[in-house]
Amino acid sequence: MKKKDFLVILIVVLFFAPFFIFHPLYNAYLNVNRSNPYLMAFVKFALLSTFGEMLAMRIKTGEYYNKNFGVAAKAIVWGFLGMWIALAMNVFSSGVPIIVDRLIGGHDITNAMQGNFTIMKLVGAFCISVMMNTSFAPVFMTLHKLFDIHIANNNGQLKCLAKPMRCAEGLSKINWDVQWNFVFKKTVPLFWIPAHTLTFCLPKDFQVLFAALLGIALGLILAIASIMGNKK
């Protein structure tokens, strides 16, 4: 690791440490998170998922940033995508347990999702994760890729977000071999379904935060997918 890597690690530690050291700050975070969940989803994804993409750039190019990267544009896109993810998590976590209970009879899954960790809660979390990652996730991943291409086509300029996105052109630029055979077929069942199963086992206050932290993992996946795409 280089000096800049240690500096990044130090910044990350200094950013998160106060929430663990100062209980009033931690409690304030919980209160704001409960009263403004979608605003906080915007902030968490804008910060953490953008950082994940910067890690991806570090892996690919050796640098965390360049002038065409479009940090501000990516952060805003991730913020709004984060709000969409938070909404989707609420929809799936509310609806899927009801459907599963109707299929098996009773209210075991619905009740289990409201309490502490049990085997039934694990089953419910798995069902929610499967439904979300086999329906919402592919659409989300494709849309994110389109925004990524749009930002790159405009050299990372923030004003590109005010321009119409050429979706047909963007879809033609996606490497569908990598998108399907790696991103969809491998990362969804092998990583995202288990990761989001764990997410839905957590208390509500931490689910969106953990999902945003997974954005760092998404950055690494994007880096691997990009490298694979370049080899084709």
Three-state DSSP state, 190: helix
Count other Cβ atoms within 10 Å, centred on residue 122.
15
Q: CB–CB of 128/97 below 8 Å? A: yes
Whole-number pLDDT of residue 1:
67
Three-state DSSP state, 53: helix
Whole-number pLDDT of residue 58:
84
Q: CB–CB of 212/49 below 8 Å? A: yes
Q: CA-CA distance, 126 to 109, in Å (whole number)?
A: 11
Whole-number pLDDT of residue 4:
82
| pLDDT by 10s per residue, the chain, length 232 | 688 888 888 888 888 888 778 888 888 888 888 899 999 999 989 998 888 888 888 877 888 888 888 999 999 999 999 999 999 999 999 999 999 999 888 778 999 998 889 999 999 999 999 999 999 999 999 999 999 999 999 999 999 999 999 999 999 999 898 889 988 998 899 999 999 999 999 988 788 888 888 877 776 776 666 666 655 5
Q: What is the CA radius of gyration of the chain?
A: 19
Whole-number pLDDT of residue 166:
92
Whole-number pLDDT of residue 29:
84
Whole-number pLDDT of residue 216:
77
Nearest alpha carbon to residue 196 among 104, 80, 93, 45: 93
Whole-number pLDDT of residue 230:
57
Triad 212, 215, 61: Cα angle to 5°: 150
Q: CA-CA distance, 73 to 147, in Å (whole number)?
A: 9
Residues sharing a CB contact under 8 Å with residue 177, sequence separation 6 or more, in sequence order: 232
Torsion of Cα atoms, 73 then 76 then 79 then 80, to 10°: -110
Count other Cβ atoms within 10 Å, centred on residue 67.
9
